[in-house]
Amino acid sequence: MVMKAFLVDDEALALKRLQRMLAVTGRVEIAGTSTDPVEAVEAILKTKPDVLFLDIEMPGMTGFQMLSKLDPQPLIVFTTAYDQYALEAFGVNSVDYLLKPIEAPQLARALDKLDRMRGGMEARPEIRELLERITALAAGRGSPTYPDRIASRSGERVELIELARVTHFFARDKLTYAATAAKNHVVDHTIQELEQKVDPRKFVRIHRAILLNLDYVHELHTWFAGRMIVRLKDEKHTELTVSRDRVRALKERLGV
């Protein structure tokens, strides 16, 4: 039987990619999608999907916070690059997860598990128990660690860039750069990968192609179409555009 699914991810491109991948399988009917977890809650309660494909780290509301507002809860497949302690908890509770970027074999494995759960061949996970376990594991292990430097390769030469010197990361012409006062350094990571790698207390995604170091924010200026301009406190007074859907999250992080 075809299962009815709802997809939630604040990354529109990731959402569309997963939707296309699910459509190719012929095993899933898409009941709805959303890039806004707050708005998604009402839609999910209305459509009553069999399964929810859910990102964890989203502005405004995390996937875990969103789950606490759903009663009854559908089966959950997390789409994430989350910390290892959480993945261990998922395994214990038989809740599946897809590490980004999602690959077809991963997706097939998740759909097989969902079929077994719906057919009664595998126990349905208890989400509230999962959330309690994640909280306990997180408290027991303390705060995650993040790198202080990032590598920039140029031919056979590798330069280590201190993240404290990086004002922002940006993507351009299929390359990703770490911007510093001295120059822009090419790095071997996508913006999405960097978002998972660096300290989220310091860096925040303000655009699909920009990851900003909050320590360098000098001014905020409202712009047209709901967007915003960030002016940095570097020598060039660099100006960066904040996407409309990321303005609220940036303001919350800056306490404005």
Tell me the average pLDDT across 59-64.
80
Q: Is the pLDDT reported for residue 141 higher than 80?
A: no
So what's the pLDDT on residue 83?
52
* Structure tokens belonging to residue 130: 């999962």
What does the H/E/C string look like for the chain? Answer: CCEEEEEECCCHHHHHHHHHHHHHHCCEEEEEEECCHHHHHHHHHHHCCCEEEEECCCCCCCHHHHHCCCCCCCEEEEEECCCHHHHHHHHHCCCEEEECCCCHHHHHHHHHHHHHHHCCCCCCCCHHHHHHHHHHHHHHHCCCCCCCEEEEEECCEEEEEEHHHCCEEEEECCEEEEECCCCEEEECCCHHHHHHHCCCCCEEEEECCEEEEHHHEEEEEECHHHCEEEEECCCCCCEEEECHHHHHHHHHHHCC
Q: Is the pLDDT reported for residue 13 higher than 50?
A: yes
Q: Is the dihedral of CA 90, 81, 200, 20 positive or negative?
A: negative
CATH T-level topology, domain 149-254: OB fold (Dihydrolipoamide Acetyltransferase, E2P) (2.40.50)
So what's the pLDDT on residue 225?
82
What's the pLDDT band for 87 if we cut at 50, 70, 90?
A: low
Say what the pTM is.
Answer: 0.52
Question: Distance between alpha carbon 148 and the CA centroid of its chain, in Å?
Answer: 21
* Structure tokens belonging to residue 47: 């459509």
Report the alpha-carbon distance of residue 147 to residue 220 in Å, rounded.
28
How is the chain split into domains, by residue range?
3-141, 149-254
User: CB count, 10 Å around CB of 183?
Assistant: 10
What's the pLDDT band for 139 if we cut at 50, 70, 90?
A: low
Whether the Cβ atoms of residue 206 and residue 250 lie closer than 8 Å to each other: yes
Phi, psi dihedrals of residue 210, rounded to the nearest 5°: -140, 130
Q: Who wins on pLDDT, 29 or 68?
A: 29
What's the pLDDT band for 50 if we cut at 50, 70, 90?
A: very high
State the CATH architecture for 3-141.
Answer: 3-Layer(aba) Sandwich (3.40)
Report the alpha-carbon distance of residue 55 to residue 64 in Å, rounded.
9
Q: Is the pLDDT reported for residue 84 higher than 90?
A: no
Q: 């079929």: which residue's tokens?
A: 115
Tell me the average pLDDT across 156-166.
91
